[in-house]
Amino acid sequence: MELSKTIGMVAVVLAVLLAAGYAVGEDGAAGASKQTMQMKVEEREAQRRAALEEQQRRKDAFERACNKPLKSSMDFDLCRTAYKRLELTK
């Protein structure tokens, strides 16, 4: 009878320790996931800013190439190329 009580008590203690370990582990994981999500948001924002800067550079190149009188076929080709680059991102 004493052996069964001892085994039962050890099982209960192990179950409590296991439950406490999972509870502590979840709190740590939640903090890490929030930090990871914040890092993902910051990375996405940096990519968006880089894309906007690239689009602005393409737009400026288009303005430089096409806002002047197109006197030669080379000027026309430069304007066409700048326009195609501008349209690729839209």
pLDDT at residue number 67? 87
Chain Cα centroid distance, residue 80: 34
Residue 21's identity, in one-letter code, is: G
Give pLDDT tens digits along the chain (90 positions). 788 888 888 888 888 888 887 777 665 555 566 678 889 999 999 999 999 999 999 899 888 888 888 788 888 888 888 888 887 655
Q: Within a 10 A sphere around the Cβ of 57, how many other Cβ atoms? A: 11
Residue 47 CA to residue 73 CA, distance in Å, equals: 36
Residue 35's identity, in one-letter code, is: Q
pLDDT at residue number 28? 55
Model confidence, pTM: 0.52
Domain boundaries, the chain: 2-88
33 contacts 41 by C-beta, under 8 angstroms = no
